[in-house]
Amino acid sequence: MNDSQNTDHRDELYIPLGIKAEQDVIPGFGKKETIQVGVILALTLAGVIAYYTAFQDAFGAVIALMLIGSTAMILIRKNENNQSVVDLARHVFTYYRSQRNYKYLYLNEWKV
């Protein structure tokens, strides 16, 4: 009996998890993500320094740096499925933009 006649034979699909296109510098952060976070933190630091020189508010400057920095890290870090929050939001946005709404007019074909 060959495999095409065997009813107990099933083809199974194995999808491995945790395989990434590039090696992580830090878990969840590849080279691209590390550069993105670095640029965001550099811009945030420049903004915080400008804020501090204008208002002399050290507490506000530190809180802003911590909030913006931690938010950037959370949004950019990739999970075990190799997707970040930004990637997921981009997929959802693309999906909803690709959906079409068609309006139909009901006509009774059987009525004369």
pLDDT at 10 over 80: no
- For residue range 26-36, what is the model confidence (pLDDT) as tens digits? 888 889 999 99
pLDDT at 104 over 90: no
28 phi-psi bin (left φ>0, alpha ψ -120 to 50, beta other): left
Q: Which residues pair with 26 in a beta bridge?
A: 29
5 phi-psi bin (left φ>0, alpha ψ -120 to 50, beta other): alpha
Q: Are 33 and 69 in contact (CB under 8 A)?
A: no
Residue 28: per-residue pLDDT: 85
Residue 63: per-residue pLDDT: 96
Residue 111: per-residue pLDDT: 80
Flag whether the pTM goes above 0.75.
Answer: no
pLDDT at 92 over 60: yes
Distance CA 48, CA 3 (A): 68
Distance CA 21, CA 31 (A): 11
